[in-house]
Amino acid sequence: MSHDRAGAPGPSASRRARLAGAMRRLAWGLVYRLYEARLSRDVAAGALPHHVGIILDGNRRHARLAGLSDPGEIYRRGAAKLDEILAWSAELGIPMITLWVFSPANLGRPEAEVGGILGAVEAKMRALVADPHISRRGVRLAAIGRRDILPPALLDAIDAAEDATSGNEGMTVTLAIGYGGREEIADAVRALLRDCAAAGMDCASAAEAVTPEAIRRHLYLGDMPDPDLIIRTSGEIRLSGFMLWQSVHSELHFCDATWPAFRRIDYLRAIRAFQRRDRRFGR
């Protein structure tokens, strides 16, 4: 037993270390909350993005750091982060969010991992339909991407979510599933040319009909506004094909945090960075 200078029993070294650690965590927690509150005030005073796109990256890296090996659990944690993004966006009044969760290239990953991703997305879509917050916030759920590469159970969940929320007008949340930017543009051009053929146009006339405006109308959601801000988590500095057509004037923000570890403070920092930029739209 350790003793203080007066000879009375004192706390052990390990107890003192635990106490010091707890005090440090308490102090850092207070600093974090104060900083988050200041960020919230700064962001609320500025112009907010109307449409935010997020590339959900870093699930596997987060799993390695957390010692996780079960693909289902890894991607369930990533899917759970969606609830927080919806809550943060609703608090700020951001009306449109697009989240890229799965690309055609991901089909090349191990079968268990692909199943973990798609299973987590299916479960989340079904959970969102039953979530009372979705109805209270007026969230409309939508999906973009190549449905022919998705399993039937996931397609059923997507259809059910879109049907159940089609009348909501408070916020639009779009999940990019089986989505690739090049695939979207190729699909749009094919759809445009099919329309030209159905109208009896010859090749020369069809070629003249291929304009940026015409292609845009044939994108997966042709009436979707372009994203003002695109965020990518996990430190990678590239778009990897996310909304290639729509991102021509988007502001980009790359965050080091992995997707499951993405915090409200990271979201606020991204929006504050957006607010500090001079958007000239190519002018």
The residue extents of the domains of the chain are 46-179+220-275
Helical spans, DSSP H, in the chain: 13-44, 59-66, 71-92, 111-130, 132-137, 152-165, 181-198, 203-209, 212-217, 264-275
Look up 168 and say whether it is catalytic. Answer: no
pTM of the shown model: 0.87
Whether residue 47 contacts residue 275, with contact meaning beta carbons closer than 8 Å, is answered with yes
Q: Taking a C-beta distance cutoff of 8 angstroms, is the pair 51, 98 a contact?
A: yes
pLDDT of amino acid 11: 61
Question: Could you tell me which of 251, 250, 257, 249 has the C-alpha nearest to residue 273?
Answer: 251
229: left (phi over 0), alpha (psi -120 to 50) or beta: beta
Token pair recorded at residue 128: 């969102």
Q: What's the confidence (pLDDT) of residue 124?
A: 93
Q: Which of 106, 187, 195, 226 is catalytic?
A: 106
Q: Which regions in the chain score pLDDT beneath 70?
A: 1-11, 27
Chain-wide mean pLDDT for the chain?
91
Is it true that domain 46-179+220-275 has CATH number 3.40.50.300? no
Instruction: Say how far apart CA 119 and CA 91 lie, in whole Å.
Output: 29
CA distances from 42 to 62, 74, 116, 264 (A): 30, 34, 39, 14
CA 27 – CA 241 distance, rounded (Å): 42
